[in-house]
Chains A and B, each alone.
Chain A
Amino acid sequence: MTPRLEFEPKEEPKEPSKCMRFLSLLWKFCSCVFSHVILVSLVVAYCLLGAYAFATLEAEHEREVKRSIESLRGNMTEDLWKLTNKDVILVDTNWTDSAMKMLKNFETDLLKKMKKEGWDGSEDTDNIQWTFTGALFYSIIVITTIGYGHIAPKTQSGKVVTIFYAILGIPLMLLCLSNIGDIMASSFRFLYWKVCCYVCTKPPRRRRPRNTRGYSVRQVGRYSNRNPSLRRSVRASQRSADSALGLSESMTRSSYSDTECRYHNPEGPEVYRRSEASGVRPSTMSRYSDIPVASPRVKGGRMTTGTASLDRKLIVTPTEANKFPVLFNKYALDPEDEPKTESSRGTNEPVEAARDVERGRSLGRNTDTGPGAASRVSGLGTRSLPRHLSVVNPPGNHHHRQRSQPPPEIREPVLVEMESMKRPSRMRRAQSYYGKADSMRSGPALPLAVPGRPYRREAPSPRVMSPMGFAVHRQIYEDDFDIDYYDYYVEDNERAIAQRIKPVPIWLCVFLVVSYIFGGAFLFSEWEDWNFLDSAYFCFITLTTIGFGDFVPAHRLHAEKSIALCSLYLLFGIALLAMSFNLVQEEVINNVKSVAKRLGIIKNNDDDDEDEED
């Protein structure tokens, strides 16, 4: 391992970037193809398969039920005949009473047939519900979790198959719908801003850090509606993990960076610095803070843990310092390169000071003695600004020094940690342990500020504040992070930039959904002979996936046609809902957050924004 590491730096400069680019392209292509084409065809194939299976399983049973109705009525006639023949003299009231009783029984039988055995009310054995089309509709109804229940499996095998079919199908459908919703959202956003509002280029309105948001909303959304894509759910889980536990540092960084860059604009270094200060530039910060750790010797030790990444190798190359801004700033700094370099050049002094502070801090962490802590505390005021600057400065001037200098000092903590990771398989624990230790250590220094810290704009959270600790944490997650990073940064890049200044107004989305419902109501009232209210009610119940099933299409029109129309309507409608969720999410959450802040309920804003979202 180690020898390879040593010669690698020399051949480094070109290859990794090429291969990473290739990898990212490949990844992008694969994910694109997979998510959009294969997924849709998979869902269609799954529906067809389900339709075939259910039609075979249930059709025969339905025919039997229909035949049994005939015999039921025959029995009834027979009974009436017997009743009539029983007595020689027929008394009006007596006969009518008995007949009423029989009719009541007959009624109950019919009721049972309909409710329990799924009889649809007609006796024509050729005209069954479980045709291929009906079963296809049923499959769609199941995997969208609408569940009208107008046809339901009545055989044992049908029920079992339904359960397993739903277990597999529901996640598939969610994935597909959220993908479609994503595509529709981006295209709609594009349409809206290119076509409708070409002129208006809104300045950004919010620069609040987004740490305080109620993250769990997302999850619920993921769980119960079609909204979030896989990518999004990654973020959601990270966020919720972070909000709930405040421990999964590195992953949340990435999510923050993504959202932050949507709202923080290339207005000037000031804004930018703030976002940086709150720990939002994961790529640059983490990688640069990696540098000391990645000096060959230490890295050799680290390699044994099995977490070496292309990036780190890149970082190690001492001669190619000028390269990494190219590589990494590409992601993190796209439009903001100019102001930042300027500002960093303008403030060289703080950089030095901050680095000293950092070094002191890292020492202090290592030994946990007084001086380190003292310098840490003293460095508090300037920390946020200079750290960022030292991190972003591209010319590599400081990095050279930083890289060349630290090893003697910094190797220590790393090695100590390596030792303390007695069990490599439990790196996560060890890592979290360090994270906690770190936050605890900064706790006494700022006893009051710690709880409120995540809520404040200027103050980064304790975990982020110590770059070395951060770097140490990041070691393990580095690779993961890169994967993630590529996964959605590359493909999200353009969109993120587009989203940054171009939120689609909420009212438009609400209007879209409402008009879709009303349009559907109008269409269905034409097709199905329902009145308008009934149709609107049907559309609402369908699109919210409540699905009572008291109104189901396909009674008037030709069954196949109306089923096809209804399926199209609901599939597109759910995708549309996903799209509008996608569009208004950020906007609404921010609105509600501000409202909640005004009310003083910071943490509990989640439901309000859901309220408005719906």
Chain B
Amino acid sequence: MENRSWSSSSRRWRGSYRRKRRKPWGERLADWTRNFIAFLFSNVGIVGLVVGYTIAGAFVFTAIEGKHSLKRSGDVARLRYFTASNLWEVTLEENTIRESVWRNRVRAILKKYQKDIVEAIRNGYDGTEDNKQWSFAGAFLYSLTVITTIGYGNISPRTEWGKVVTIVYAIAGMPLFLLYLSNIGDILARSFKWTYARCCLCRCRRKPRGAGAPPPRDAARMNQWQIVKVHGGELETSSIEQEDSSSGGVAEDEEDEDEDDDDDEDSYDPQQVTVPLTLCLAIMVGYVCGGALLFSKWEVWDFLDGSYFCFISLSTIGFGDIVPGDEIYSSEGFELSFVFCSMYLMLGMALIAMCFNLMQEEVMAKIRTLGRTARHIFRCDR
């Protein structure tokens, strides 16, 4: 239904400057493809595209890296066995003679062992026998950190092919994620502005709409917005998607904008509202703190660690010194944790994009005012 409506509306304006061909099958196929691509890059599709891309990446990386990491933990086990037998030999030789000699030799062996272990850890050994780093969940998180450029580095590819694939994967994936961010950030910014304008500023404005019944289409639109608002606007992607899918694709979206302009003519425009900086900052801080609370409950971090993790992740610095799933790598809670973490990241980055969007408008307005004032002063001095 969505595709159809899109194509009809698009054909309407495309036809004006595009020559129409009369090839029913080819045309239909081409249209279908176009619609599909357009849908993929629409606001709904992009979420699915990002998730699908990440899942595909997870499969690829699991396949490439999984074998290698198994070999590594086997190496460590062998090293341990070797060291133990070394120690045994030393004990046999030195035990009865002198304690200090024995200690020295044991110390030397342990030091060597420690060095080897450090090397193994540097190469990706994580302490578990059956290496779960490159399980599906781990690979999913890895793919996500690659395309978001967070790059925790708690797991990283060790094979040649893993590295090459990572490079290619990042080249294709980062623009995709950027697109996701821009789309979702835009939607969030718009809906947030709307919510802000309607909810917070209503008191000091006149009623947005007269008593006359609004046109049906507008009513539907209102309902959609209502959904968004009820779900909390910026925290519920699904509701926003709903809004989009029902508004029907790309070209019609544009049309919607125009209609919206027309409909709203007797009220101020919500999109002209600039959301105050403090509110944006509060949202970001609130999101980080909320994440910190949740993570400190899920993991065994304290609050500072949680907020530190959230900040480092959302700013895409991504040290990787604290990573979710750390302590549930081997337990059954892992799946849930990684799903939650990915959702938190994807939503959070879109939210931050939204806040930057809003803040930038506000700051530009401020700067403009400042410039105007400066000019005023300058002029008065003259």
Contact = CB atoms under 8 A, between A and B. Distances in A.
A541 B127 CA distance: 26
Nearest to A438: B265
Interface in A499-514: none
Nearest to B302: A156
B321 A600 contact: no
Interface of B (DSSP majority class): helix
The interface centre, meaning the residue of B17, B103, B307, B318 with most chain A CB atoms within 10 A of its CB, is B318
A220 B269 contact: no
B17 A439 contact: no
A544 B304 CA distance: 28
Contacts of B293: none
A475 B92 CA distance: 96
B315 A145 contact: yes
A223 interface: yes
Nearest to B40: A604
Contacts, number: 331
A245 B315 CA distance: 28
Nearest to A236: B360
Nearest to B313: A147
Interface string B271-300: 110000000000000000000000000000
A interface residue count range (under 10 / 10 to 19 / 20 to 34 / 35 or more): 35 or more
Interface in A295-334: 307, 309-310
B127 A159 contact: no
A544 B168 CA distance: 12
A145 B175 CA distance: 17
Interface stretch (B104-112, B210-218, B226-234, B335-343): B104-112
Interface stretch (A45-53, A100-108, A198-206, A282-290): A100-108
Nearest to B256: A451
Interface stretch (A33-41, A124-132, A184-192, A428-436): A428-436
Given A23-B378, A216-B182, A610-B178, A149 B320 contact: yes
B interface residue count range (under 10 / 10 to 19 / 20 to 34 / 35 or more): 35 or more
Given A80-B87, A220-B181, A246-B257, A614 B317 contact: no
Contacts of B269: 245, 247, 429, 432-433, 436
Interface of A (DSSP majority class): helix
A440 B265 contact: yes
A377 interface: no
A452 B251 CA distance: 9
A147 B107 CA distance: 36
Contacts of A440: 261-262, 265
B91 A95 contact: yes
A76 B189 CA distance: 58
Contact of B151 (A69, A118, A217, A548): A548
Contacts of A265: none
Contacts of B353: 219-220, 223
Contacts of A149: 152-153, 318-321
A227 to B, nearest CB: 11
A241 B31 CA distance: 30
Interface string B316-359: 11111100000000000000000000000000000011001100
Given A77-B110, A456-B17, A546-B170, A111 B127 contact: yes
Given A19-B379, A152-B321, 5 more contacts: A90-B92, A451-B255, A533-B164, A544-B149, A544-B174
16 contacts: A19-B378, A73-B111, A76-B110, A103-B84, A106-B110, A114-B121, A147-B316, A162-B308, A245-B272, A428-B272, A430-B268, A439-B262, A480-B368, A480-B371, A600-B10, A611-B175
Closest 4 CB pairs of A and B: A452-B13, A610-B175, A548-B153, A149-B319
Interface of A: 15, 19, 23, 69, 73, 76-77, 80-81, 84, 90, 92, 95-96, 99-100, 103-104, 106-108, 110-111, 114-116, 118, 121, 141-142, 145-149, 152, 154, 156, 159-160, 162-163, 166, 170, 216-217, 219-224, 233-234, 237, 240-241, 244-248, 307, 309-310, 426, 428-430, 432-433, 435-437, 439-440, 443, 448, 450-452, 454-456, 479-480, 482-484, 487, 533-534, 536-537, 540-541, 544-550, 599-604, 606-607, 610-611, 613-614
